[in-house]
Amino acid sequence: MTFCVVCGTDLAGREVCCEQPAYDPARYCPKCGRWLVVRIAPTGHVEHCPEHGRLEPS
Amino acid sequence: MTDTRYQSSRDLLAQAGHLLVEQRRQLPEVMLEELAELPNESVPSLAALAHEVRLAWSGPAVDIEGILSVKTGGCAEDCHFCSQSSHFDTNVKATPFLDADEVLAAAEETARLGAAGFCIVLALRGPDERTIDRILELVPVIQERFGLNVNVSAGILTPAQAARFAAGGVHRYNHNLETARSFFPHVVTTHSWQERFDTCRLVVEHGMQLCCGVLLGIGESIEQRIELLSQLRELDPDEVPVNFLNPRPGTPLGERPVVSPLEALRWIALFRLALPRVILRYAGGREIALGELQALGLTAGINALIIGNYLTTLGRSPDEDLGMLADLEMPIGALGEAF
């Protein structure tokens, strides 16, 4: 992971940036830091990066 | 705690139980004020009374509903607790109205879980005609294909819009008061509490069931929670979803503390005692407010829950909630009239 999924900041070698709030999906792409389109349904959720496509569930 | 004080707590609970269970009368507001002041040691007894009241007025069934945000973010309103407001720098990306296929797939998932209802939710001040058209295209399909009651939450309504939703088969319309009239201007400035109240009235006047939720833990006082209960009684909703603030990063309330488990249980019980016949639904924030104690809410007056995920945040897995209901030996069933 290169970018923080909570705030989109370049981790620049760090392992963590922000603490991901409980019950929150990723909001930024871990590969490029772009804002994700997040679709949340009752039984699942999908995060989609305009550059990297659908994120694999972590 | 002195024996005298303990005795007075027991007497107060006995009086409340006599009124609610034996006489099936509502509690006077002054008694709700006294119950709200009971010491923490009495919260389990308060919860036990609320459970008894729930069983006496509504039976053991638990109503399950799934919700879906079909239009997310970009909202012009400034509700200080909401990550979908365009006034605040939050990490929720705005997305337009979902495709019908996505909505139907979510409704199908919800039906498979044994839910009675499915709520279509939009982040906006109020709907335009095209938005109403799109919602009303979905309503009969979801009803007929999946056997679900279709509920809608689309903001402030005009009388003509309420009439359209009612005629279009919407079972229950959600519009939350959120908080007491006296506190509302502290957390929302782009519309008034009265506008919300008026929409709630329109829902009832046009023959839809009213779902009118609350949000606890946004800085309101105990007195204002009692005030809110009084205002809800005036509306007499069919359903009250109880939300606890999940502080959202970037919103003005993003740093507020979370309601404690004991406080959450106390107020669940008080909502049941104040609104004995209502469908009292577990909603957003229960996971973070109650943590491992979520089963206790179902023995403190709750008789419905939103299953799975919420609008912009995730919930527990449906299996956990269904397992909890099985452990409690509470049957799943629809509460309120079917469509």
> B257 φ, ψ to 5°?
-70, 155
User: Tens digit of pLDDT for each residue in B264-322?
Assistant: 999 999 999 999 999 999 999 999 999 999 999 999 999 999 999 999 999 999 999 99
Neighboring chain A residues of B105 at a CB cutoff of 8 Å: 41
Residues B249 and B223 grouped into a single domain? yes
- The CATH number of whichever domain residue B118 belongs to comes to 3.20.20.70
| B106 reaches A (C-beta below 8 A) | yes
User: What is the domain count for chain B?
Assistant: 2
User: Tens digit of pLDDT for each residue in A38-52?
Assistant: 999 999 999 999 999
Indicate the average pLDDT of chain B.
Answer: 96
B257 Cα to chain A: minimum distance (Å): 14
* A37/B91 Cβ within 8 A: no
Residues B20 and B122 grouped into a single domain? no
Residues B44 and B78 grouped into a single domain? no
Residues B37 and B65 grouped into a single domain? no
- Which of A6, A21, A45 lies nearest to residue B309, judging by beta carbons? A45
| B192 reaches A (C-beta below 8 A) | no
Residue A55 host element (H or E): none
Residues B186 and B228 grouped into a single domain? yes
A13 Cα to chain B: minimum distance (Å): 23
CA-closest candidate to residue B269, choices B7, B10, B29, B52: B52
Rounded CA gap, A7 and B282, in Å?
30
Show which of B31, B52, B73 is a domain's final residue.
Answer: B52
Quote ipTM for the complex.
0.91
Is B329 a residue whose pLDDT tops 90? yes
Q: Would B334 be classed as within a structural domain?
A: no
Q: Would B81 be classed as within a structural domain?
A: yes
Is B247 a residue whose pLDDT tops 60? yes
Low-confidence winner among A10-24, A42-56, B161-175, B189-203 (lowest mean pLDDT)? A10-24
B61 Cα to chain A: minimum distance (Å): 21
User: B244 near B259, Cβ under 8 Å?
Assistant: yes
Neighboring chain B residues of A42 at a CB cutoff of 8 Å: 66-68, 106, 109-110, 113, 307-309, 318
> B87 φ, ψ to 5°?
-75, -20
Instruction: Check residue B7 and give its pLDDT.
Output: 72
User: A29 near A3, Cβ under 8 Å?
Assistant: yes
B261 in helix, strand or coil?
A: helix
- Structural domain of B14: 1-52
Rounded CA gap, B22 and B14, in Å?
11
Residues B164 and B190 grouped into a single domain? yes
Is B58 a residue whose pLDDT tops 70? yes
Instruction: Check residue B335 and give its pLDDT.
Output: 87
Instruction: Check residue B338 and give its pLDDT.
Output: 46
B321 in helix, strand or coil?
A: helix
Tokens linked to B188? 């929302």
Instruction: Check residue A19 and give its pLDDT.
Output: 85
Using pLDDT thresholds of 50, 70 and 90, give the confidence band for residue B3.
low
Residues B36 and B133 grouped into a single domain? no
| A27 reaches B (C-beta below 8 A) | yes
Closest-CA residue of chain B to A43: B308
Instruction: Check residue B4 and give its pLDDT.
Output: 63
Rounded CA gap, B282 and B280, in Å?
7
CA-closest candidate to residue B282, choices B271, B297, B292: B297
Residues B183 and B71 grouped into a single domain? yes
pTM summary value: 0.95
- Which of A7, A37, A43 lies nearest to residue B95, judging by beta carbons? A37
Neighboring chain B residues of A43 at a CB cutoff of 8 Å: 66, 106, 109-110, 113, 308-309, 318
Residues B140 and B237 grouped into a single domain? yes
User: Tens digit of pLDDT for each residue in B82-127?
Assistant: 999 999 999 999 999 999 999 999 999 999 999 999 999 999 999 9
Q: Would B149 be classed as within a structural domain?
A: yes
Low-confidence winner among B1-15, B57-71, B169-183, B222-236 (lowest mean pLDDT)? B1-15
Residues B161 and B22 grouped into a single domain? no
Using pLDDT thresholds of 50, 70 and 90, give the confidence band for residue B339.
very low
Is B5 a residue whose pLDDT tops 80? no
